Amino acid sequence: MNFNNRKLLLACATCALLSGLFSFFIAQNFYQNKELANSQPPKNLSANQCDMKKIVAKNYKFIKPILILERSCESENLFPLKTQLSDLISTMQTNSELDFASAFVIDMNRSEWIGVNENVGYLPGSLIKVPLAISLMKMVEDKKCNLTDKIEAPKELFNIHQTYTSETIKPGETYTIEQLLKYSLAFSDNNATQILNHKVDLNYFKRLFQDLSLTEPDVHDMTYTISAKDYSRFICVLFNGTYLYKRHSEQLLEMMSKSSFKDGIAASIDKNKAYLANKFGESAMNGEHHFHESGIIYINNSAYLITVMTKGKDVVKLSSSLKSIAKLVYNQMTSGSLNTSVAKL
């Protein structure tokens, strides 16, 4: 073999060796990566492995009090309920019982939630009486007013239409702020609410929305809307006792537990096993009615929150639809078929 042939053979052997080493390292890297990948958690985390989002009060210099802990995604434990709610709402739309509806449900002991159309905005109507009450109670805590302060009702009361009416204040009589709050929350009295509207400092009202990371409402905008998910934060901070003093949160929820509206959530629960604190609201614009309810259902040592918002042409049908939605949620949350903290009847 001459020199040139030996040189060519040596070059080919070297290439073969390098190629073999290259293949070896590629294969080794592949199997190492595969083994590593198999040891890592799956990228698509389940709903129960969601991050917790903190909503904190913002108007302090040295502290950041946690107001609400929210999971960033829905709970897979409640997915069957979500499907059933979606089907029920679709059926109601097909049957012309309503034009549109939203539902938001939280297992309060676990902060697990599901929603259907939960980010769609609605006219809040009397639901806005809850943040008004919270703002006034915060003013009481800051000594801007007292629950015992007395205010005389005007000689001529306001004539604001309501489909569901109950007790109302009397013209010319004197009431304490505490009494007016009860009329506003328990009886949804618009006359009492109008007096409280003039008493509240709008800075406190806006601050509440800021602290809960909600868009500040323009109090002069009659088209202001809020979603079921966002509105539920007002009920959450009362339940958690994190925005007001605990005794004041308890006081407002107790007033709400005296609600005179019995055709919605109240009609959907077994009163021998559960009780609730709730607020309903109605509004109308251009011939379209909006009817809603939000509240806490207490069962044993557990509780869940439900907010239902609806819109359509017939407010009576909307009330009936809301009751059916709340009934479905109650039955499923307490049946044991879902892994909830309230299914311990």
Hey, what domains does the chain have and what are their CATH numbers?
Answer: 75-335 (3.40.710.10)
CA distance 177 to 147: 5
Query: What percent of the chain stands above pLDDT 90?
Result: 70
Give the number of other CB atoms < 10 A from CB of residue 344: 11
CB neighbour list of residue 41: distance below 8 Å, 6 or more residues apart:
none
3-class SS at 341? coil
CA distance 64 to 85: 37
Instruction: Provide the phi-psi class of 300: left if phi over 0, else alpha when psi is between -120 and 50, else beta.
Output: left
Q: Which residues are registered as beta bridge partners of 102?
A: 309
Q: How confident is the model over 223-278, as pLDDT tens digits?
A: 999 999 999 999 999 999 999 999 999 999 999 999 999 999 999 999 999 999 99
Lowest-pLDDT choice from 44-48, 166-170, 322-326:
44-48
Mean pLDDT of 192-207: 95
Mean pLDDT of 320-341: 94
Q: Are 102 and 227 in contact (CB under 8 A)?
A: yes
3-class SS at 316? helix
Beta-carbon-side half-sphere exposure of residue 86 (alpha carbons within 13 Å): 11
Give the number of other CB atoms < 10 A from CB of residue 33: 10
Q: Are 12 and 5 in contact (CB under 8 A)?
A: no
Average pLDDT, the chain: 86
Q: How far is CA 174 from CA 156, 158, 250, 271, 277, in A?
A: 14, 16, 25, 35, 27
**pTM of the entire predicted model:** 0.84
Q: How confident is the model over 269-299, as pLDDT tens digits?
A: 999 999 999 999 999 988 899 999 999 999 9
pLDDT of residue 169 exceeding 90: yes
pLDDT of residue 20 exceeding 60: no
